[in-house]
Amino acid sequence: MNAPDKLFAAPEPHVMKTYGRLPLALSHGRGCWVWDTDGKKYLDGLAGIAVNTLGHAHPKLVPALHDQINKLIHSSNYYLVPLQEQLAAKLCQLAGMSNAFFCNSGLEANEAALKIARKFGHDKGIEKPEIVVYEAAFHGRSIATLSATGNAKVQAGFGPLVEGFVRVPLNDSAAIEKLAHGHPNIVAVFLEVIQGEGGVRPATIEYLRDVRRICDERGWLLMLDEVQCGMGRTGKWFAHQWAGIVPDVMPLAKGLGSGVPIGAVLCGPKAADVLGPGNHGTTFGGNPLAMRAGVETLRIVEEEGLLANAAAVGATLRDGLERELAGVEGVIEIRGQGLMIGIELERPCGALLGRAAEAGLMLSVTADRVIRLLPALILSHDEARRIVAILAPLIKEFLAHPE
Ligand SMILES: Cc1ncc(COP(=O)(O)O)c(C=O)c1O
């Protein structure tokens, strides 16, 4: 087994050391498989952290992107961008929402959401609007989104934080009702439907319905960060759809472009007209290449029935893990939905990242103790069984011999 210091060696003297990286570089991929520069093959259980929705080098996506690159990569938001309207209309149809703003990443989508919430408050005469956020939440690493994030490690060293956030525990409706009494300036509730970086922790269906009701009763915006759990990963287009609710604001990113950088914030009627000309913008946001990637991703997901695949293959993966890890001491819980699965262990398990890579499997470890699987939505049942066959013995071996 690799020693931890070898795993996190950084043979990149000119790259800022903001990441602890495994000492391997990927050269190419096909479907759910990737190869490193030494020719070693890996089963990709991570998909670039929920990004490669269609796996690697998808035979329908690649020619479409070639076609777009040949036509126009970038124009400018000074002009009409027909592909923006095409993608916005499709996303709104799938989400039951009204309009979209396009940007380039998850944190940017969340920044737009936060600006919408604040301006929504100002438009109502609330000068110091407050936004309800959550313990263990993750919304990004800009100053505003790290302030909304509920993780002291992410915030350490970057104070003063942005004010105007009030924090509650997840899945505790009484806590949010109680908070409402002392905080007349609340304008929005902002949460991940399944907390990703926080350890694959789902909001319950009852809680989501409660929060929708509370927002309606009080005139607050319900803003659901679906950057990680959205885009079909749970077996529905958006994870909140399992609760039969519709948010007022929904940031998206990651899987929307199948690897081409993209972000979007969708708004329903309560929020659709909050931002007007001059209120928000970004040079790259909504460029034709990213928009084409989004349009084609949605088309291919539909054509290939990948929502149903995510649900069915996710069940195979989860059932397999539950079967193989049943009764194993040190496995606390297996949770998640569809192809977003977390396995919580009783102890920190970052070392499993390197051990899994050695065994030919890509995965992630988050919140110190949670092994996280976020494979492409094209994963097959056989590949799911292969993940179980590699991972279950690794977990057992790790729990028996953590060092
Ligand atoms: C729920 C959620 N929101 C926002 C972000 C930030 O996205 P990005 O890294 O694209 O800025 C992430 C990234 O992991 C995320 O999981």
**Tens place of pLDDT per residue across the chain (403 aa):** 334 444 555 578 899 999 999 999 999 999 999 999 999 999 999 999 999 999 999 999 999 999 999 999 999 999 999 999 999 999 999 999 999 999 999 999 999 999 999 999 999 999 999 999 999 999 999 999 999 999 999 999 999 999 999 999 999 999 999 999 999 999 999 999 999 999 999 999 999 999 999 999 999 999 999 999 999 999 999 999 999 999 999 999 999 999 999 999 999 999 999 999 999 999 999 999 999 999 999 999 999 999 999 999 999 999 999 999 999 999 999 999 999 999 999 999 999 999 999 999 999 999 999 999 999 999 999 999 999 999 999 999 999 987 7
Nearest CA to ligand 1 atom 3: 139
Specify the ligand 1 atom closest to the Cα of 142.
Answer: 11
Alpha helices, DSSP H, located in 124-204: 143-148, 152-155, 173-182
Measured CA angle at 37 (ends 356, 387), to 5 deg: 25
- Per-residue pLDDT of 130-176, as tens digits, reads 999 999 999 999 999 999 999 999 999 999 999 999 999 999 999 99
CA distances from 402 to 184, 330, 361 (A): 50, 11, 19
Separation between Cα atoms, residue 267 and residue 223, nearest integer Å? 9
Reported as type and span, the H/E element at residue 272 is none
User: Would the CB of 248 count as within 6 Å of ligand 1?
Assistant: no
Catalytic residue set: 138, 225, 254
Tell me the C-alpha distance between 324 and 316, whole Å. 12
Q: Where are the alpha helices (DSSP H) in 200-337?
A: 205-218, 288-303, 306-325
Cβ(193)–Cβ(226) below 8 Å: yes
Q: Are 169 and 175 in contact (CB under 8 A)?
A: yes
Cβ atoms within 10 Å, residue 87? 27
Q: Within 13 Å of residue 236, how many CA atoms lie on the same side as its CB?
A: 13
Cβ–ligand 1 distance for 106 under 6 Å, the answer yes
* Residue 78 CB-density burial (10 A; 0-12 exposed, 13-18 middle, 19+ buried): exposed
Structure tokens at 351: 């070392």
The ligand 1 atom nearest the CA atom of 225: 1
Query: Cα dihedral sign for 259, 133, 196, 267?
Result: negative
Task: Output the pLDDT for position 3.
Answer: 41
Q: How far is the CA of 146 from the centre of ligand 1 (A)?
A: 10
Report d(CA 276, CA 196) in Å as an integer.
32
Atom of ligand 1 nearest to the CA of 105: 10
Mutate to test the pocket of ligand 1, among 228, 238, 250 (most ligand atoms within 8 A of CB): 228
Q: At which residue do the structure tokens 């000068």 appear? A: 127
Please list the residues that pair with 365 across neighbouring strands.
371
Residue type present at position 268? G
**Is any ligand 1 atom within 6 A of the Cβ of residue 140?**
yes
